[in-house]
Amino acid sequence: MAHSAILKPGVNCWRIEHADRAAFLVDGAEFFRAFRETVKQAQRSVLIIAWDIDSRIDLVREGKPDGLPVNLSAFLNCMVQRNSKLHIHVLDWDFTMIFAPAREWMPLYKQEWNGHRRLHFFLDDQHPTGACHHQKIVVVDDQVAFVGGLDLTTGRWDTPEHRPEDPRRRDLEAEPVPQPYHDIQMIVRGPVAALLGDIARERWFRATGQKLAAPERRAGASYWPGYLAPDVENIQVAIARTIPRYKNTAEVREVEQLLLNAIAAARNTIYIEAQYFTADKIGAALAKRLEEQDGPEIAVVLPEHTDGWLSQNTMDVLRERLLRRLKASDRQDRFRLYYPCIPKLDGKCVNVHSKMIIIDDQLARVGSANLNNRSMGLDTECDLVLEAKGETHVQHAIAAFRNRLLGEHLGVEPSEIVARLAQDDSLIRAIESLRGTARTLLPLPLRVTAEMDALVPDAQVIDPDQPMDADQLIDEYVLGEEREPARYHIYLVAFILASILGLTTLWHWSPLREWVNVETLVGLAAEFEQARGAPLFALGVFLIGGLIAFPLTVLIIACVLVFGPWQGFLYSLIGALLSAMSTYALGHLLGRNTVRRFAGKKIRELNRRLAYRGIMTIIIVRIVPLAPFSVINMIAGASQIRFRDFVFGSAIGLLPGMAGISLFTDRLAATIQKPDLPAFAVLATVVAIIIVSGWTFWRWEERKRNSRLRAHAD
């Protein structure tokens, strides 16, 4: 019986276009090699759109097969050096700081990305708050393109063997060897590659304001990697996208609609591999099919747990909530959850990072979009889709792709999968019959306790499916003023005072007093205070601290402890102003765009306030800091605020906070040295005055800002 078409341009995909060749690249080693072989043939243009990219990785892990560099940045620079007509454009997501430890540090300023005028590198921050650009696209001369879940970065290279402790997986001399990594990329050749080039150029324009011309299509070059046999030829390939609403960009949810339509159309089998599995609408669609009397079998391969403590304690909890709902809907025993098991991984698991779904032998979708909510409407995504529509050669290619993946996970040849499917006429029974004791697929255990589940909020908080305005987020998830704010602040004061009392008690009546002798520390501070040049040294510390964004409060406390409350306050004020002026000058030198990329997305409110300019603006952002001290200085330097206003506003705005910190530090030190009732009473009074003063000013400033906004709205 013929299958009705699932793909509908303008509904669940953007466009459908011809490809004369296509192949599924399973795991990073195959993608890295194919990328390198294709770029070697580039004549005019290479476009790389990435969630992450790292100049330091090696594309080939076994020798130098052609004498060209194997390192990514060296290879790209070599390509533009040997071809005077070639331009390479790399657009990377301007990541949030939570990802910084795992990323290449300050790539904008590295010689590897800026060493050649025809190698263009830019960070893209044009997305809603909390979103990310998650597409992974490479387009070479609009002739060949790659799309999938793999980035050219650390931790991605691996082979289908996923050998334990394979030293080739090690990036940048990392120890220990990273965990096995499983993912999928597609390579396509033909007119569909030009459409992907259009997507990449549009992203570049939105990020940089620079329009790139499409390269002339030149005859002669194959572009296809010479060693790679295509999985299928002469096919139609669809492109499905997720684009969040942002500024003048309309929302696009083609990926979500495609998945819903594909699940509804399934007759016999749904095979899924996914990194995350938390999308509410997708889960509801699968549950509906499981509740049917004669619905399809559903087999899902997931990682045993996701990567990282934070993800395991948030996304894994949301995943398990969805999985429990699906199990409850499985009335006909047609649902199985698996994870890949490889012996001798010593506590590690295979990081299943793929984003893939196969419906019967009729449709295969590979791309960047996860099965989580944010990939449906918040992040920027791009998928490729093949639909057979009765064409036998496409059906065979889709079935062979699924069997290849199952063979990899079960440790058997794809031919054994084919034989079992023919014998059992059931995907689940075929998998169950081939599960062994060595490399295999194991049932995914559900391990989240009720206590852990109760700690994790609703999915729309952790995994939203659409952008949310910052003010809306505050209104929805932060307690309003009408909910007894006074009681909250009484609790806060009580907590601070109790903490101080506990510290004092600990210091006076515990071994801590023996380990860290107060008199000794005070003596050392006094000796330093009397040293020649001590004040100049302190001012130098403030200058250096500002340049490396060291917390100003810590420097003030140290200064007061060494020089006493009055001299410490004076030196701190002078040092802070010197630091502010130096980082202001640095911001002025670097310019607005550079500072904006460095500071990140959290400076929107600060930019809005600095737009008023003048002394009063600086005073307010000093008293109510909206960003770290050095970041405020650099942004002010890159803006149009006059230097004189900046210095005077900073001096006035810093006075109250510095006075409070100095007084608090002095009284805390006195209380620790002599923890009697009068000392504690004075310290408690100082803390209360600081809190009440800060709260009063904050309320005044909020009322003033709200009145400005109302006047602007009127």
CATH code of the domain covering residue 112: 3.30.870.10
* Residues 481 and 355 both lie in one domain: no
**Is pLDDT of 524 > 60?**
no
pLDDT at 244: 96
- The separation between CA 479 and the C-alpha centre of its own chain, rounded to angstroms, equals 28
Let me know: does 671 contact 635? Beta carbons within 8 Å: no
* Residues 543 and 590 both lie in one domain: yes
Q: Which of 462, 496, 523 is the last residue before a domain boundary?
A: 462
Answer left, alpha or beta for residue 289, where phi above 0 means left and psi between -120 and 50 means alpha. Answer: alpha
The lowest-confidence range among 130-144, 185-199, 263-277, 649-663 is 649-663
Is 5 part of a structural domain of the chain?
Answer: no
Is 145 part of a structural domain of the chain?
Answer: yes
Q: Which of 462, 494, 512 is the last residue before a domain boundary?
A: 462
d(CA 192, CA 143) in angstroms, rounded, equals 8
* Residues 391 and 356 both lie in one domain: yes
State the average pLDDT over residues 215-220: 77
Look up residue 94 and give its amino acid. D
Is 202 part of a structural domain of the chain?
Answer: yes
**Is pLDDT of 666 > 70?**
no
Is 115 part of a structural domain of the chain?
Answer: yes
Per residue in 631-653, pLDDT (tens digit) is: 666 666 666 566 777 777 777 77
Q: Which of 434, 462, 490 is the last residue before a domain boundary?
A: 462
* Residues 525 and 405 both lie in one domain: no
* Residues 417 and 513 both lie in one domain: no
Helix, strand, or coil here: 343? coil
Confidence of residue 448 (pLDDT cuts 50, 70, 90): confident
* Residues 192 and 300 both lie in one domain: no
* Sign of the Cα pseudo-torsion (251, 252, 253, 255, in order): negative
Is 170 part of a structural domain of the chain?
Answer: no
**Is pLDDT of 213 > 80?**
yes
* Residues 428 and 550 both lie in one domain: no
- State the pairing for strand pair 119-124/381-387: unpaired
CB atoms within 10 A of CB 558: 17
E strand intervals along 175-279: 181-182, 184-189, 232-243, 252-253, 269-274
Look up residue 604 and give its amino acid. R
Look up residue 449 and give its amino acid. T
- State the pairing for strand pair 184-189/144-148: antiparallel
CATH number for position 334? 3.30.870
Count the residues in the chain. 714
Instruction: Give residue 70's domain range.
Output: 15-162+177-215+227-234
**Is pLDDT of 616 > 70?**
no
Is 239 part of a structural domain of the chain?
Answer: no
* Residues 417 and 482 both lie in one domain: no
Per residue in 382-412, pLDDT (tens digit) is: 999 999 998 999 999 999 999 999 999 999 9
CB atoms within 10 A of CB 244: 25
Is 673 part of a structural domain of the chain?
Answer: yes
* Residues 417 and 547 both lie in one domain: no
Domain count of the chain?
Answer: 3
| Listed ranges 118-122, 482-486, 586-590; the one with the highest mean pLDDT | 118-122
* Residues 210 and 325 both lie in one domain: no
* Residues 446 and 507 both lie in one domain: no
* Residues 415 and 555 both lie in one domain: no
Is 7 part of a structural domain of the chain?
Answer: no
